[in-house]
Structure 1
Amino acid sequence: MSKRWGLWVLAVLGMLAGCADRDRSVIADGRLTATPGGLDLQRVAVFDGREVEVVLRNVGRARLNIDEAWVEGAAGAWRAEFTHEGPHSLVPGSECVVRVRFNPQREGDLPATLVVRSDAKQEPLVRVRLQGTGVDAWARLSPRRLDFGRIEADSTKTLSFTATNPTDIPVEVTPKLLGAQKDEFQAEPVVIPPGEAREVPVTFAPVVVGAKQVALAVSPCRGCSDVAVQVTAEALDRAVVAEPPELDFGSIPVDRDSLRVARLHNLSTEPMEVTAFALMSDEASFSHGDIGVPLVLQPGEIRSWEMRYSPGHMGEATNLASFSVNSRRHPTTDVALRGFGGASELCVSPLSRDFGPQPLGSKTSQVINVKNCGAANGGPLTIQGLDLQPLDGSTAATNPIHLVAQTLPHRLMPGEEVNLRVYFEPTQEGPARSQLVMTTDVFGEETTVLAFSGAGERHAPCQITVTPLAMNFGTVEPGRGAVLGVKVDNQAGDLCAVKNIRMNDTGGGVFSLPGGDLDGLIVYPGDSFSFMVAFAAPLTGGDFTGSVQIEQWDPGNPRVLIPLSAYSRAACLVASPRYVDFGVSRPDCSPAPREVNYLNACRAPVTVSNVFIGAGTSDGEFLLRDAPTPPITLDPGDAFTVQVDYLAQVYGMNLSPLFVESSDLPAPLLVSLVGESSKNMNKTDQFIQQDGAKVDVLFVVDNTASMVEEQPRLTSAIPAFVDAARAKGVDLHLSVTTTGIDATSNACPGGAQGGEAGRLFPVDGSRPRLLTLQTPDLASVLQQNVNVGQCASLEQGFEAVRRALSPPLVNNADDPRTPEPNDGNLGFLRDEAALVVVFVGDEDDHSPDSVDTYVRFLRARKGENQPQRMTLYAIAPTATGCPTSGGGGTRYAEAAARTGGEVISVCEPDYSPLLRTVASKAFSPQDRFPLSDQPDAGSITVSVNGVPVTTGWTYDGATNSVVFSSAPAAGAKVDIYYRRACS
């Protein structure tokens, strides 16, 4: 055998080899011999081991059996075992082998004896002396920490620790890796010769990005306890990154240039070589200085280079600066380059505002208009920062001047604008100063500073009175709406600052302020003001409570709450009209009385126990002139009429409830009374002529069950309208909505169950909802869209239009309040286009607010003095009526007359003439200018572009309009002055 330390025992006698059984001679004895003089295994490292083989030979004359072999000596240091299982029976001359292992557990000499027992008669025990020495031999490791740093994934790095063997025998060092990411490391065992030192390499080859959780346990000798070597390592997705990854030079004039700095950052702890650089496209507007490649980025180093953008053309320009990096994972690091040839222009107005002395507790606002007023090809403008900085020693928390938060960055394309609102709310006396620092990407004007100042002025605490102290809407039928008013009166000797007039509790969304929240007002001694509160009764009915708040400068009573209550349920009495608007009047010229008719629509008698005017903004302004004396019993179908006077003696807006108590209701039925008294007798209406090149047309189609005859007539007239529009060649937007607000039935087409609530039809998008003259088969698609079904129960055309053209519908592709996708009206209404609304219905409008409210809203959407216009047309019931219509369409007629539109009877068999008229008038320069009030005809004077015009126009009393025989030129400014009539 090779590497055998044992000595063979020579046989004294023996004829045959092996341990095979044979009959023993009865007159002879076997004799076992082993190595004479003993065995010395010499020096062995503690916990290591060394083996020798001892050959046992039968030198006797007879067979013998070896029973066992063992070692007597230090416990655990020696072990003996046969090399085969046995039986161990030796014939003369044969042999067996015993393996002896020396495994010292401590230092020093460890003598022992190998004892072999056999069945020899003369010498049954054979002893062999053993000698060995344990040596404390193990490698010393240095260092105890390996830091691989940060390297890019898919690369490798090798570090080593040193293993030193100070002893005179070899030592085996075995490294073991532990942890979840141990497979990304590699290390192999190594044998250290006596007195030498060796490097033990450990290789880190990451494939997964992130910090590594591993441990290195090193056994410094065979059988030794592990020694810990700390390992730190992290793998990067990319070693070399661009900071920033994109250089946006913004909008730069063509004759100028701009510099930006491109930076490469070596995130790793290893040097990284940048071998090459190139601009990847032929866009010549971008250039650079000397890059100086190849180069080496040291660990953590940031290197910068200057990039230049010199627009060679108008419009957007892009390129890619590409750095080649010695990396397997990311061989290039790119910097995107972007610029726009042609500069935006910043227009800000006003640049400063002195709010002046303002009462403590007041709230005064200033709108700051920010506009990109550059040319259409001048590029976008981005507002990047808005920093309001106090200059008077106050802090951000105590600064009385504050800015309404904006979402930044905010990008403005040429012609686009945004309004910022700044408030001054002094809470202590003395001056206040702040500046608003606006940062933009406008070339050469990156920072704009706006100055604001004001002063707090102390006044006596407020002593306002509120009328009424509580607002009761009585009963409003489900699906209907009503408005009442609150009057705020300052009867004290000092002015009063009020602010933040808004809903405190909407009652689940049923109460609202139609005019919107009021930020702040100053009420002078003896003055007052009124505001409206609306109640929209849900179709489900119910009882509702809410409250509206008014904040005042009174430390003892800073907030006044006005409780609201309302009931909604079906009523037997049907009021017509459901609210009465007396319009604007003068104290010396009160309007004519108005009538309200009440009909018992139930199948059983109803008893009316009281008719009265409830608490309003100014008690006594509305009076019952002619009303039956209760109690009254109305049989089914019976009716009675009430006349109401409006005195118009209290200036401002006046609102009161007209209540009727009946046996079927727990609370009286409400009809809202609205009037306004004005001191102003003279008025000037201003118009700016537009050219009709762009028009947005919205059809509002009645979708109630009574439209069986009328919808087919409308469908038949659509091709005539489309042909007239094509003949004019205008840029046209065409859409349809319904008069339905609340969902009614799945039988309704379009996906909204008849409750489009201003959303364009069809809500489910089964057909295009926004049509133009370029829409394929336009007439057919529009015919399908006006077939809105007959399933709703209430016509609210004006309310539908208001919702269609108000946020969130008008400015969102999807209505965030509804589950249907993409049901917003974004894109229909264009600022630069005229607006035409065509109502089609067989019954008058039943929207909750007055005609004046809706007309004012629509005018505001287009701008009364802007180069746009708004006209309302209607196919609706007229005074003559017909069996298929439901009474006169007085509200539609009033709205059409006030906006220069027209009405034809819904009873006409052919609607084509009206639709041709719509196309002819709406798509042409305006020749009819409706007045906002009734004039004394003889007081009217007209000027065009500031020049008085005495001929070429007439006053049409039927429509309350000034009509030109030849329409003023596009863009002309038309001023119509008149004295308001007493009618």
Structure 2
Amino acid sequence: MFLLLIACSRDYNLDKIPEQQKSGDDSGSIPVEPTESPDIYIDPPVVDFGNVVKNCTSDPFLVTIGNEGLEDLIISDIEFAGEGISAFVENSDQFFQDGQLILPYGTSVPVNLMFSPEYFLDYEVELVVQSNDPDESSSEVPVYGHGASGPTIEEGFVQDYNPYVDVLWVVDNSCSMEPIVENMNDNFSAFINEFTSLNLDYHMSVVTTDMSASDQSGKIQGGIYTSAQNQNDVIQNFLQSSNVGTQGSVDEKGLDASKAALSEPLLSGHNAGFLRDTMNGEEVGLSVIVVSDENDYSSVNPNNYTSWILGLKNDPENVRFSSIVVSSSSSCDGVLEDVGERYIEVSENTNGFVADICTDNFDATLQEISLSAAGMTVSFPLQDTPFPLDAISVTVNGTEISQSITDGWTYDSRSNSIVFHGNAIPDAGESVVISYEVTGSCQ
């Protein structure tokens, strides 16, 4: 009896209808009586169109507006509010008579919303319903949408590396190279320190681009330097070997020189012991790094060279050809204009790294080259061309990375790749996710 009195008390709040009752739940719970006054409900409470191609129209999004109160719900207006409302339309006019939409108890109307973005923007407006509901005379439903160039694509990568690698440096020893080699040698510790941090098992040697002198022509200068040796000794010995002078042939043939160095008779003769096949059951990686301020004048063409060098390993992914060259006709302020096109072509064909030889930041260049030599990459090629570019999103191990040429990422239109820089370069084993939009058409 006591419970019955409470149920009939005027203090019992019947205005707040449980969500399960609004959705027609018939799980056996006791139904809640409707309020005497009008009681509006709108389903769903939030509308999100997602990505819609600019200047195209979305599919209709159904919004149901109903009355759960005993008294008639009288709707006086349904409209959008906020910035960008011209991109949205709704079809409720067909339900109005004499400026009103009257919904008796238990009835509802289906209102279709559509979204036609005019710009590459995020839209956020409200669908506002004015009624005689005493608790919600103005009911607002958030409405979201994004003006896109096309579908959104998400690509995932994992930063891998090879713990075993043989690195062959091909250094231009023509007369114009002296200040460049000095700059490289001043910063070489950045290269070898990265190798040490990755705990790589490496072989490293130097040849020149001179194919005229009999004591060069693909022959290793100095010796073979390995991770088993003292690191300081490796640095000092490498610096001596890479200081190849400036009296070499002006017909730089870096492709011919590296091919000779890695082929017979030098491979088992003068250069014996440099190139390894496997270590502990894993194929040893091969990295060729060219440093030159001139284009290549070898007899072999880049395509044939690419096929040849990739064929040296069972897995082509274990081969890298990187270039520190003049990357464009304007990159060196007019001092050097002989772009290393042939070297760049091979680098792009082997997923190698291309760096500008006139850079002021040789330290960073050598760090990035070292990662490429280890089979890692700073450049992640995309399957499709992103548009607009400001819609690109990049994360590493779930952390969003900002766009920056120092410690972030940039987009390289020539290779259609995302390129990482500085501290943002993914470490071995880290996952990279790149999301972007592409140009699309109306369906």
TM-score bracket for this pair, using the shorter chain length: 0.3 to 0.5
Q: TM-score, normalised by structure 1?
A: 0.22
The answer to which structure has the higher helix fraction is 2
Q: TM-score, normalised by structure 2?
A: 0.48
